[in-house]
Chain A
Amino acid sequence: MAETWIDLLRLLDGALRLATPLILCAMAGLVSERSGVINIALEGKLLTGAFAAAAAVTLTGSVAVGLAAAVCAATMLSMVHGFACITHRGEQIISGVAINIVAAGLTVVAGNALFRQGGHTPPLAPDDRFPALTLPFAETLAAVPVLGPFWGELVSGHTLPVYLALASVPVIWWLVYRSRFGLRLRAAGELPEAVESAGVSVTVLRYRGLLIAGVLCGIAGAYLSTGHGGGFVREMSAGKGFLALAALIFGRWKPWPVLFACLLFGVLDAAAPRLHGLEVPLLGPVPVALVSVLPYGLTVILLAGFFGRAEAPGALGRPPGRTG
């Protein structure tokens, strides 16, 4: 009994680690998409953040500087995105895709120029990565059955970005549903003309949405290369930005359901190696590929309308039009 409990906790613990960049990116996507800006560029912003963090840590030896560099880099990219699709009313998807391409190329080029290791950064020493934080009572509770392992194995012992990701959900929820900013943000995503005519600038709102998105993507990037991983590897975001977008749709642009989707995808990811080769009666061994494709498959099924309709913000992708 205790064995399975520990096993389950280890699985969930792995899931949480894997879900962390998804949660941060999905919250980033949520804020910008609720303002009406499609954020297909999450992937590129995440990747840029990861590179900036690893490069900065390699050069300075400080994770804090790495985190700051990641946040700055991802935010700058977000602002470029905004400049193209808010200020110049460019196509949001196209400018987003452009950002992804630029990020994939630039990180490698810059990495080569700085470190001459084929686009990677040198591997980081354990001391140069985010330390695991032990929460209070982890020791004291260790002896208590059930709760002890739960606290010690699952809740305690993660790095700062993991806790930031978990904290981001209620914060974003509060911002979106309980603050003036959120009311305006949602209105800008539904009917931007109404916001303009209420005397509030849609441009400023959407830029703020992208700004918050940039910060969150930066934290996710720093986690990827200096928390979860130990250094930057080319294209290390590996589709996590897109998966976050899938979670966003899966959770219907609402913070708590989106968190649930990210955790679900995390569990699938963590379980994949364990499921590998598992014999299912009648079907034979489970291919890993099937497990990795599941999140996308579920999202496609959702989009096809099997779980009810995924209601996107009404003005997603649309600059304000004529108000006359």
Chain B
Amino acid sequence: MAVPALRLRNISKRFGTVQATRGVDLDVMPGTVHGIIGENGAGKSTLASIVFGLHTPDSGTIEVDGTPVDNLRPVDAISHGIGMVHQHFMLVPGFSVLENIVLGLEAGFRLGPGLARARVRLAGVCREHGLDIDPDATVDDLPVGVRQRVEILKALYRGARILILDEPTGALAPHETEQLLALLDRMRASGATVVLITHKLHEIMTVCDRVSVMRSGHLVAERDVKDTSADELATLMVGHDLPAGGEEKAAVEVRTVLEVSGLGVRDAGGVRLTDVSFTLRAGEILGLAGVSGNGQSELLEVLAGMRPVSAGSVSVGSRRIDHAHPASPAEMRSLGVSHVPEDRQRQGLVLPFDIRENAVLGRLERCGPGTLVRPAVLQARAEAMIGDFDIRPPVPDRPAAVLSGGNQQKVVVARETAESPPILLLGQPTRGVDIATIGLIHSRIIELRNRGCALLLVSADLDEIFALSDRIVTLCSGRLAGPLETRSADRSVVGMMMAGLDGGAAA
């Protein structure tokens, strides 16, 4: 039998009181794509970070291609041919794509010649893998899908033969995901080894050879993909059968609560939105589909009061927001608009604050007498949220920074839905969230809808859009298409609308 490309034995890691991984044994065979799935906080990212040398395990051994390595640091991992794509982007703001890619591998003290050589080499790597990138673009300006490509190129440029990807498709649109999976397939064909951490079981079923399931730090099961099914994996992951899917949708009551008309947004980077008009109705979910970077983020920011309107207007009740009458986030909140931002780490949470403090961000009105805050109220709210959303570890005084990505998302969703807002903006609400929690968040969304909340759901996941929305609109290059009634909509039509081909005009 071949020597495993990666062989982990008895890997354990504890953070304070949290045992992130417990005695994990894992063999990853060369030339295969190995999936790792598991609930939020199961320890997947921790395991990946250990293999890449970012965390030192408390116990256990690692072998790469049969050679034991100890005291692994990222430099050693890189020199052993291990590459890692992190769950959150690791791109230095203000740096160009090229600078981000060469960081750590500059070849020589003088930057100029090193960069020139790197440019040539990068072009070669791009050609080899069929990827396309502008090396001089500043990473801040790039859409998420392209940033993800930069992350992958970083690993490939370092000559990674063992590539670990931690939820690489969380922010990608369906066709970008397909491209990525195709790339992984090609890499496997060329003999590379891939470890793919994901919450999306269909990705496992499409591209992986073998899959490991983690639960509370343990590796609880391993299967050959050809011998298993998505249902079995879901059950293994959660440890029990999942409740049957969403409830029946309630009848739609037509009452407009938010109206956008002729909205245009421009900023230093150019035109972001052009002549966008739609209405949000009480008791209805409006799904906004689109490849990220086509204006969805900007639209959410305008509706949340975080970005000024350049043209047109947004009306909520009797308040009309336009260029001359801007609104602040606080005002939008007081108008009943809650917001689950796309970027949970920067806009949704204050990472160094604990769960209690994050539970009341922007909502300090009823936390105590006058301007004072009563700790007991904070504690009670945090405990309620932890209970409702099964936030792990269930410790209200842990800083948000040390929660796993999915658990951070739960904190934001819990806070924004806690007071049954009349209008709720959802930016990728289930990105990086495990299936049990997706179920939880989805049922909370439907419950709010049934209680008369108007929801705008922005998601890169078409399945999610189709499963929840009553009507669907799309954005492409800042222009809106639709709406379509979900009942009569067809995925290929929505796909065409997303690509800017006006297939949806009929509805």
Give A321 to B86 CA distance when docked, in angstroms: 14
A199: chain B residues at CB < 8 Å are: 73-75, 77-78, 104
In the complex with contacts A183-B103, A190-B93, A324-B54, A196-B112 CB distance below 8 A = no
Contacts of B154 in A (CB 8 A): 198
Min distance, Cβ B199 to any Cβ of chain A, angstroms: 15
Q: Is the CB of A198 within 8 A of B104?
A: yes
Is the CB–CB distance between B109 and A181 below 8 Å? yes
A314 to B78, CA, bound (A): 26
Q: Are A323 and B103 in contact (CB under 8 A)?
A: no
Residues 48-68 of B, flagged 1 when their CB comes within 8 A of A and 0 if not, give 110010110000000000000
Decide if B106 touches A183 in the complex (CB within 8 Å): yes
Chain A residues closer than 8 Å to B95, beta-carbon distance: 186-187, 190
Interface string of B78-98 (1 = CB under 8 A from A): 100000101100111111000
Bound together, the chains give a CA A191 to CA B103 distance in angstroms of 12
B230 on the A face (CB < 8 A): no
**Interface contact B48-A324, CB-CB below 8 Å:** yes
Taking a contact as CB atoms closer than 8 A, the residue among B104, B108, B401 that contacts A322 in the complex is B401
Q: Are B110 and A179 in contact (CB under 8 A)?
A: yes
Q: Is B32 an interface residue (CB 8 A)?
A: no
Residue pair B112, A178 in contact (C-beta under 8 Å): yes
Question: Chain A at the B interface: mostly helix, strand, loop or mixed?
Answer: helix
Contact check, B91 vs A324: say whether CB atoms are below 8 A apart: no
A184 contacts chain B at the CB level, 8 A cutoff: yes
Assuming the A-B contacts A323-B49, A324-B45, are A180 and B90 also in contact, with contact meaning beta carbons closer than 8 angstroms in the complex? Answer: no
User: CA separation between A179 and B111, bound complex, in Å?
Assistant: 5
Contacts of B78 in A (CB 8 A): 199
Chain A interface: which size bin?
20 to 34
Q: Contact: B54 with A323, CB < 8 Å?
A: yes
- Please state if A324 and B104 are interface contacts (CB–CB under 8 Å): no
With beta carbons under 8 angstroms apart, the residue of B49, B111, B114 that contacts A324 is: B49
* Contact present for A195 and B86 (CB under 8 Å): no
Contact A191 B91 (CB under 8 A): yes
Q: Which of B159-201 contact A (CB under 8 A)?
A: 166
Identify A187's interface contact among B75, B77, B103, CB under 8 A: B103
Residue of A183, A195, A196, A200 with most partner-chain B CB within 10 A: A183
- Is A33 engaged at the interface, CB distance under 8 Å to the other chain? no
- Residues of chain B lying within 8 A (CB to CB) of residue A187: 92, 95, 103
Quick one: closest A residue to B95, CB to CB? A187
* Chain A window 186-222, contacts with chain B (Cβ cutoff 8 Å), 1 for yes, 0 for no: 1100110111111110000000000000000000000
Kindly supply a per-residue 1/0 record for chain B positions 333-364, scoring 1 wherever the CB is within 8 Å of any chain A CB and 0 otherwise. 00000000000000000010000000000000
Interface bits B148-160 vs A (CB < 8 Å: 1, else 0): 0000001000000
Q: Are B401 and A180 in contact (CB under 8 A)?
A: no
Contacts of B49 in A (CB 8 A): 323-324
Give the Cβ gap from B156 to chain A, nearest Cβ, in Å.
14
Chain A: minimal CB distance from B316 (Å) = 29
B496 interface contact, C-beta 8 A: no
Contacts of B90 on A, CB cut-off 8 Å?
Answer: 191, 193-194, 197, 323
Within 8 Å by CB of A194, from B92, B102, B108, lies B92
Q: How far is the CB of A313 from chain B (nearest CB, A)?
A: 9
**Complex Cα–Cα for A27 and B73 (A):** 32
Partner of B110, one of A178, A194, A198: A178
State in angstroms the CA–CA spacing of A323 and B89 once bound together.
10
A182 at the interface (CB under 8 A from B): yes
Q: Are B103 and A195 in contact (CB under 8 A)?
A: yes
Distance in Å from the Cβ of A126 to the closest Cβ of chain B?
42
Nearest A residue (CB) for B351: A321
Interface centre among A178, A183, A197, A314 (most CB of B within 10 A): A197
Cross-chain contact B109 with A184 (CB below 8 angstroms): no
How far apart are B152's CB and chain A's nearest CB, in angstroms? 14
6 A-B residue pairs with CB within 8 Å: A179-B109, A180-B109, A186-B95, A190-B93, A199-B74, A314-B93
When A and B form their complex, which 4 residue pairs have the shortest distance between CB atoms, in order from nearest? A198-B104, A324-B45, A199-B75, A180-B106
Known A-B contacts: A196-B54, A198-B105, A324-B48. Give 10 more (CB < 8 A).
A180-B109, A183-B106, A190-B93, A190-B94, A191-B91, A197-B90, A198-B154, A200-B103, A321-B401, A324-B86
